[in-house]
Structure 1
Amino acid sequence: MVERPTEATSGIPRLIPDPLRDNFETPPPQPRRSTRQHFKSDYMRRLRAGEGTRDGRIPLDFVKELQEKLAADEDDTNIMYAMVAGMAEAEGLDPSTVCEAKSQADWPKWQNAINAELNSLEEVHTWDVIECPKGANVVGCKWVFKIKHNAAGEIEKYKACLVTKGYSQIQGIDYDETYAPIARLTSLCTILAVAARNDWDIDVFDFHSAFLNGKLRDGEDIYMELPEGYAVGRNFSCPVGKLNIALYGSKQGALQWYQKLCATLAGLGLTRAHADWGVFYGRIGSEILILASHVDDCTVTGSSPSLIRSFKQEIGTRFKISDLGPISWLLGMKVTWNREARTISLSQQSYIEAILTKYNLTDCKPAAIPMDPGIKLSRGEIPQPAEEAAHMKNVPYHAAVGSLMHLTIGTRPDIAFAVSTVMQFNNAPNMTHWEAVKRIYRYISGTKALALMFGNSERGLEGYTDADGASQEHQRAISRYAYLLDGGAISWASQKQELVTLSTAEVEYIAATHAAKEGLRLR
């Protein structure tokens, strides 16, 4: 018998038969509970008992207490990786099912959120309860729970949303078109930079149950299972809900809402921008109004504060909205606005701290640069040793890189190249690649207070582009570009070229072509 790693769900090696020495029919000894299982068990037990919770959230000191318990377990040879996997459980307490919500100490708040959502659905007559037609494709439904936070990280409200399981819809029967654009982040940054330069007001608002405003077209018949506990007035052998509105989760839900929004904004005199269909603008007399839509979140600015107020009042007469006032939080990014200096800054410090906690890297030593120039990452032709392969099964490589992707797209162009490099090894990462990912986390740990600032100059739109030739193992050049507006980066990219080039001149021309296309769109 030799030591072999268990499956990826456990961080503890156990004894299993060796195919070269033992008979496979010999039953292996039962493994003890893994540290990760102990972590989850203790975590859920304390949570259900309400110990150490604040409004149903696990505080950081409780998380550290569980970490210390894990660190004291000397029998677990793969403790760090079990902790990393377990920390994903402690990062947030949004329940995934109604049963989980009922088991939490804050169930009354979730119950109020469920009742509020059902009332909203009934007000707009979302479905008709009918007998299930023979041979109909019935889609399921589920509750999605989310705790909303404000810019300070405090709990703002409990949100429960009933969604359909749109993945079971059939194209040509339940839906046809699905495309629904939203404002690109580069467009939002551009709008903020323009507003900062001109000292315009910037307000934000969101729509209540936005998808409930999109009606299904004739011939689009969607039959949905009724939610758990929903009371049916009449006796049905097999009751289902025939949807009148494209509910959240349905394939065409976002499209129906976008079309409704476009029609409403057109009636108010706004025109859709050709370069970004999520941006709308209008000229009312000598004043200008600009709106950026991101599903149900809207950012509006313009040259006249009274025009912005009257616009929000007009929208409020057509839809239910929440007027959030001057901008302070945008798509998970903190917005710092200095009206005197005419500058706006975007930062994701709270997000960085969250992912550092999630992957147990809060106490890591900061690094000066995101990548070590002395280490060349490669796929490697030699198979991994058994011990290293066992370790990598419990390393959340894909999740950690995905968390960095959100940061790269948002406010951190300085890690774009490093993240695009480690992404190339998602299919078969090894310990060297994992160390490179952790170095990026060490870098952002030391630079988490950095922010993008717009408006500190009036230099206008500037663009830079470059390519590195074929220095990578894959022999493809890396194209890079960055566009700045008034000194702040609004658009950037670092990506592998698709074409195989024969000279450095071709490499530079290809990089310049992609940069020029982005420049035309921004102008």
Structure 2
Amino acid sequence: MWKGKRPSLGHIKILGCEVFVRREAQDKLEARSKKCLFVGYPKESFGYLFYKPKDNVVFVARRGVFLEREMISKEDSGSKIDLEEIQESVDEESIVNTNSQQEEVTPAEPNDVSLPIRRTSRVSKPPQFYYGFHIEEDKISDSTLSELDEPANYKEAMASPEAVKWKEAMKSEIQSMYDNQVWNLVDTTTGLKTVGCKWIFKKKTDMDGKVHTYKARLVAKGYTQTHGIGYEETFSPVAKIKSIRIMLAIAAFHDYEIWKMDVKTAFLNGKLTEDVFMAQLEGFENAKYPTRVCKLQKAIYGLKQASRSWNLCFYEKVTQFGFSISEDESYIYVKISGSIVVFLVLYVDEILLIGNDIPTLQSVKDWLGKCFAIKDLEDATYILGIKIFRDRSKRLIGLSQDTYLDKILKRFKMDNSKKGILPLHHGIKISSDLCPKTNDELDKMSRVPYASAIGSIMYAMTCTRLDVSFALSMVSRHHQNPGEGHWTAIKNILKYLRNTKDRFLVYGGEKELRVTGYYDAGWQTDKDDSRSQSGWIFLLNGGAVTWKTLKQDTVADSTCESEYIAACEASKEAIWMKNFIGDLGVVPTVQDPIEIFCDNESAVALTKEPKDHGKSKHINKKYHFGRSKVAEGHVIVKEIRSEDNPADPFTKALAKSKHDKHAWSIRLKDKIKF
């Protein structure tokens, strides 16, 4: 606080670890250093206290080779000496310590001072430390991957300083169960199979990360259910993230209202058709009938069929009010009456209400309030961990995930890391050559949360941070056997996200609501199996609404073939967008054809007509889908320079100038005023 910066803790070492300290007088036939134990720090000088068990002395030296990794990797640290007893017995004034010795680059060993070691009968235990997610500090606990301030179970909640708030949250949940008549207590019988239950505790935060609600959710242990007995169908669709982005881009263009609502205890609205019995709740057992079980009438959270039951219930209610479901997006509902347009987007229990007529929107809200317990959040500012910023005067909408990124950076101990300039530097090869080759390396990497980090970054990439798509695609291929080099690449992505966490994905400013697509391919980017990389992106109202990067299913024989395969995948997405946006009824004329741009002249020519060429005669028939859609007039493929193709970063690592240029072209901006 005094100096305005964090002090360096690089000199801190693990107590009790073995150290090689250089000898003062060296004989060519003797070892140049002696193995000692690190036991502490001198008070009056800079350096370390070392203990030589053989000579039973403690001395000061400035440097040594500390064997910390070896100590961590051992089940038993090998320390047979009570470190506290040694430190208590060290007489600081008797230790020889001269300034001349401290200034030497390679310190000489000072005069040894014999110190009596007091023996103890106490069992010696290795010191306990907390280690971060670095390979060189590889002792990682799974507990560090969870939110440490949220209880893991009922006992922890009752023992926490916030026990009163958690108790109130549980009472509120129980009251919801009673209000919805979720179960009846019945006598148990021999052979009756019951489903267990547990409490899930979460702190709800606002768009700035501040806690505003303590939530306790009662969840059934649905994984113990048996198919055909406890449940039948389980399929339950939700609105795609890309569909939500498309709706927001349309709302920005037409200046629609965007309201948000949450359905309280949404799953409790679904009715069960099967007989399901559940054990009584921990902490809320019926004192009069402790042996009875709960026969469920409604679909409680955690049951296999809970999500499906809720969606069927919601579909029934909204269709009664005149909404129709989109054929190309399972949970976007449309209601059009003359010039009045209303859209209802459902994502589990979160609802976006979008439209151009406030009285009509209010009537929809009132209807939903009669059907379900609704929490009205008015204008949408936050959904699914995404902040929504809006400037209606300029018809702009910006999406940001800075709060979510702060959370994952803190989770993986990268919140104070250096800031990266690129997610993947040009020239770095991510392949199986980086996989562990020894048992020590395997053991070290087994304690690294590699898959967890990929999943956390993937959600950001799926929502708004498309600029890390290619880097994430490359590192995710090795999640089953990652090496130190792979983990370094993951940390580089996190460093880049820390540097660019304030970026917005912006929609608006266009004079026409048109879909424009771009695709590209990187030839044989995967060095392990020589397969190429496809990448495509589609823009609407100036900003990216859908994108993807993936490894191709087959080995391409040429750059032309790899680009042609990518054209097939991009054409499929173009057709879906054409149908989906057309069904919404908000575009005056259905866009036909949709323009897709590519930077390979041969591939463009191949999509227009089948040319007999030795490099293309073996191409699988399924990849001719793009050509068929071009022939039908639904898609047209045009050529563009590679420098102007925003799909280029989806297939290869680029230099910073090119990477930033493409990010700007798809409206992924560092700063924007709202």
Q: TM-score, normalised to structure 1's length?
A: 0.84
C-alpha distance in 1 between matches for 2:425 and 2:252: 37
> How many angstroms apart in 2 are the aligned matches of 1:15 and 1:215?
53
Query: Which residue, out of 54, 77, 81, partners 2:138?
Result: 81
The letter for the 2-side match of 1:458 is: K
SS at match of 1:216: coil
Structure 1 vs Structure 2: percent identity of aligned residues? 33
Alignment of 1:163-312 (within 5 A): 163-217=219-273, 220-232=274-286, 235=289, 238-312=291-365
Q: Does structure 2 conserve the Cα–Cα contact (< 8 Å) formed by 1:11 and 1:81?
A: no
Equivalent pair of 1:11/1:35 in contact (CA under 8 Å): no
Gaps of 5+ in 1: 4-9, 18-28, 40-66, 71-76
Aligned AA for 2:390?
Answer: W
User: TM-score under structure 2 normalisation?
Assistant: 0.66
Q: Secondary structure at the match of 1:137?
A: coil
Specify the alignment match of 2:177 in structure 1. 121
Alpha-carbon deviations, 1:446-483, whole Å to 9, x = none? 11111100113235211111111213112111111111
Residue 495 of structure 1 deviates from its aligned partner by 0.7
Give distance in 2, aligned partners of 1:84 and 1:124.
Answer: 40
Q: Residue 157 in 1 paired to residue 213 in 2?
A: yes
2:140–2:448 Cα contact (<8 Å) kept: no
Q: Which residue identity does 1:499 align to in structure 2?
A: T
Inter-partner Cα distance in structure 2 for 1:199 and 1:120: 37
Instruction: Say whether 1:12 aligns with 2:69.
Output: no
Residue 556 of structure 2 corresponds to residue 470 of structure 1:
no
Question: Which AA in structure 2 matches 1:353?
Answer: D
CA contact (8 A) 1:137 1:169 kept: no
Contact in 1 for aligned 2:345/2:352 (Cα 8 Å): yes
Match of 1:35 in 2: 129
Contact persistence 2:434–2:483 (CA under 8 A): no
Q: CA deviation at 1:388?
A: 3.6
Greater Rg over alpha carbons, structure: 2
CA-atom RMSD in angstroms: 2.6
User: In structure 2, how many angstroms separate the alpha carbons of the residues matched to 1:483 and 1:368?
Assistant: 25
Query: Are 1:14 and 1:31, in contact at CA under 8 Å, matched by a contact in 2?
Result: no
SS in 2 for 1:425: coil
For 1:194, the aligned partner's letter is I
Bigger shift: residues 133-142 or 145-154: 133-142
Q: Structure 1 residues 290 and 204 mapped into 2: Cα distance closer, same or farther (>3 Å)?
A: same
CA distance in 1 between counterparts of 2:136 and 2:153 reads: 29
Per the alignment, in what secondary structure is the counterpart of residue 341 of structure 2?
Answer: strand
- Structure 1: distance between partners of 2:411 and 2:161: 23
Match of 2:391 in 1: 338
Quote the Cα distance in structure 2 between the aligned partners of 1:148 and 1:299: 19
- Residues 182 and 297, structure 2, Cα contact 8 Å, conserved in 1: yes
- Distance apart, 1:157 and its partner CA: 0.6
Shift of 1:124: 1.5
Matches within 5 A, 1:472-511: 472-473=526-527, 474-511=529-566
Match of residue 359, structure 1, among 412, 421, 439: 412
1:423 Cα shift?
0.5
Q: Answer 1 or 2: higher relative contact order, Cα 8 Å, separation at least 6.
A: 1
Cα distance, 1:488–1:243 mapped onto 2, change above 3 Å: same
Q: Quote the residue 2:582 is aligned against.
A: none
What amino acid does structure 2 have at the position aligned with 1:81? D
Matches of 2:71 and 2:189 in 1, distance apart?
49
Alpha-carbon distance, 1:210 to partner:
0.7
1:349 and 2:349 aligned: no
Is 2:376 aligned against 1:320? Answer: no
Partners of 2:141 and 2:222 in 1: CA distance = 32
After TM superposition, the structure 1 stretch with the greater mean CA deviation from structure 2, 146-155 or 379-388, is: 379-388
Instruction: Compute the displacement of 1:15 (Å).
Output: 5.8
Q: Is the 8 A contact 1:85 1:395 kept in 2?
A: no
Residues in 2 aligned to 1:192 and 1:432: alpha-carbon distance in whole angstroms: 39
Match of 1:421 in 2: 474
- CA pair 86-33 structure 1, distance change in 2 beyond 3 A: farther
- The offset of 1:125, in angstroms, is 1.2
Distance in 2 of aligned mates of 1:437 and 1:370: 9
Q: Kindly tell me: are residues 383 and 111 of structure 1, through their superposed partners in 2, closer, same or farther at Cα, counting changes over 3 Å? A: closer
